[in-house]
Amino acid sequence: MPQMPYVKPCDADAAVVGGGLVGIAAAIAIAKAGLKVIHLAPVGPVDRRTSALMMPSVDFLRSTSLIDDPSRLGHRLSEIRIIDATNRLLRSPETLFEAGESGLEAFGWNFANQRLLEQFQQRAAELPNLETRPLDVTEFAYGPDQPELTLADGSVLQVPLVVGADGKKSLIRAAAGFRARENGFTQAALVCDLELGRPLGGCSVEFHYPQGPFTLVPAGNNRANLVWIDDREVLRQAQAGGAEQLVPILLNKSQRLFGSITLATPAHVFPLSTISVDRAGSRGVVLVGEAAHAFPPIGAQGLNLGLRDVADLATALQAGSTSTPLWAEKVSFDYAQRRAADLARTGGMVDALFRSLLAEMVPAQALRSAGLWALKLLPSLRQRAFSLGMGQR
Ligand SMILES: Cc1cc2nc3c(=O)[nH]c(=O)nc-3n(C[C@H](O)[C@H](O)[C@H](O)COP(=O)(O)OP(=O)(O)OC[C@H]3O[C@@H](n4cnc5c(N)ncnc54)[C@H](O)[C@@H]3O)c2cc1C
């Protein structure tokens, strides 16, 4: 009788590396596709960020039962107000975008990342084919039959499909040989919660300063989530001065439009960078979330894009069959094809927006100003901008 080649049995169908929001959403999606999945999610520091999720992302979370009623977890975003706070020669008009104009109840919802994470963790715990291990991956290698992951306790996992959801400094991206382009910025983002004298209602207010936007996002009652982008050193100094020094700066930056300000949480500073990859999947490995793409938090795109990665991964799994040979390689190839256009379009849009906000050159300022005038005056263009910003496909 001819000898069958020996194939070592695998530990699961898939492993997801990284316990951030995108990693856990991916692990749940894979388990719901009927595969056995191991989620490697070391316990990290509390995620202090908040995320404005556009309606298509909220609909995705609801349709996959990751959340039910968004009002139980987050705050509705029904208006976006843009205020040009520069002293430039060519200033843009103040512009108010209202969701109602497009017949929408809201552009999206604003969530604290930690609350979403806890909700996702509850959902994950309900799935018998999803096992969570609080362990770091220390090594990745392409084994003779399938990818191999070495874990922090020295154990080795062999799985046909590996999902790298391990963030900006992704070990999986580097070790699996994905080509990536990275760009650091001198700007950073300062994040904290504020109590304002007057409520924002459902309106997210963006003050556009020459060094970057200063954005107040509604977080219920008089609370706002602040995302302030500026030079890293300016932010570090503002943070180091404590509430005494920070509050007067914030009052000034918010043009005192919302009355008094008190800090409701400590301020955190996040460095900013861009990361993009040539392909998001290959040889049984796929990259999701910030392992595949990162950019400054302008136009609220990062997590929205990460959830679209998860949606496309679920579609690629449904389209293939895990009983055929090399199924994981086919899924990774299919996933990369599905993600290519969206990753290029969204990355390009955020990059152009960020550069136009910081542009010192008068022609670039003129373009941005003309763009905002056009958006203000032309309803059809505004509709197109809405659907692009919301990531509608
Ligand atoms: C200030 C700020 C505001 C933002 N606002 C918005 C917004 O309004 N809307 C929006 O859509 N997006 C927003 N974003 C972007 C959004 O927060 C991110 O895109 C998203 O949270 C990334 O999730 P992730 O799971 O891909 O990565 P991460 O949250 O970075 O998770 C990666 C995980 O991988 C783990 N890990 C790393 N290495 C390993 C390893 N070797 N083994 C195992 N685990 C590992 C880490 O511990 C971590 O838990 C914002 C970002 C910032 C900085």
Cβ 189 under 6 angstroms from ligand 1: yes
Cβ 52 under 6 angstroms from ligand 1: yes
Residues 57, 53: Cα–Cα separation, whole Å: 6
Domain-located, residue 197: no
Domain-located, residue 177: yes
Largest CA distance in the chain: 85
Query: Which token pair is 370?
Result: 């003309």
pLDDT at 361 over 90: no
- In tens, the pLDDT along 216-245 reads 999 999 999 999 999 999 999 999 988 999
Q: What does the pLDDT read at residue 4?
A: 46
Which residue minimizes the CA distance to atom 4 of ligand 1?
Answer: 297
159 pLDDT tier (thresholds 50, 70, 90): very high
Give the mean model confidence (pLDDT) for residues 354-372: 59
Q: Which atom of ligand 1 is nearest to the CA of 290?
A: 26
Yes or no: say if 134 and 43 are a contact pair by the CB < 8 Å rule. yes
Q: What does the pLDDT read at residue 93?
A: 63
What is each CA distance from 361 to 88, 184, 353, in whole angstroms?
10, 21, 14
Q: What does the pLDDT read at residue 182?
A: 92
CA of 72 to the centre of ligand 1 (A): 22
Q: What does the pLDDT read at residue 2?
A: 47
Give the mean model confidence (pLDDT) for residues 291-304: 89
Which residue minimizes the CA distance to atom 53 of ligand 1?
Answer: 270
Cβ 20 under 6 angstroms from ligand 1: yes
CATH of the domain at 37: 3.50.50.60
Q: What does the pLDDT read at residue 322?
A: 81
Query: Which token pair is 230?
Result: 């500026």
Cβ 306 under 6 angstroms from ligand 1: yes
69 pLDDT tier (thresholds 50, 70, 90): very high
pLDDT at 1 over 50: no
Domain-located, residue 324: yes
Q: Which atom of ligand 1 is nearest to the CA of 138?
A: 41
379 pLDDT tier (thresholds 50, 70, 90): low
Residues 367, 382: Cα–Cα separation, whole Å: 16
Residues 10, 236: Cα–Cα separation, whole Å: 48
Write the DSSP string, 63-114: HTTS-S-GGGTEEEE-EEEEEE----SSPPPPEEEEGGGGT-S-SEEEEEHH
301 pLDDT tier (thresholds 50, 70, 90): confident
Domain-located, residue 146: yes
CA of 384 to the centre of ligand 1 (A): 28
pLDDT at 3 over 70: no
Domain-located, residue 172: yes
CA of 167 to the centre of ligand 1 (A): 6
Pairing outcome for strands 50-54 and 108-112: antiparallel
Q: What does the pLDDT read at residue 84?
A: 83
Indicate the number of domains in the chain.
1
CA of 110 to the centre of ligand 1 (A): 16
Domain-located, residue 243: no
Domain-located, residue 332: yes
Q: What does the pLDDT read at residue 28?
A: 98
Q: Which atom of ligand 1 is nearest to the CA of 21?
A: 25
Q: Quick check: helix, strand or coil at residue 151? A: strand
pLDDT at 74 over 90: yes
pLDDT at 6 over 50: no
Q: Which domain holds residue 385?
A: 14-52+113-182+275-389
Cβ 327 under 6 angstroms from ligand 1: no
88 pLDDT tier (thresholds 50, 70, 90): low
Domain-located, residue 216: no
What is each CA distance from 261 to 51, 85, 248, in whole angstroms?
22, 19, 9
User: Which stretch of 14-23, 152-161, 378-387 has the lowest confidence by average pLDDT?
Assistant: 378-387
- In tens, the pLDDT along 238-255 reads 999 889 999 999 999 999
| pTM over cut 0.85 | yes
Give the mean model confidence (pLDDT) for residues 48-53: 92
CA of 20 to the centre of ligand 1 (A): 6
Yes or no: say if 290 and 312 are a contact pair by the CB < 8 Å rule. no
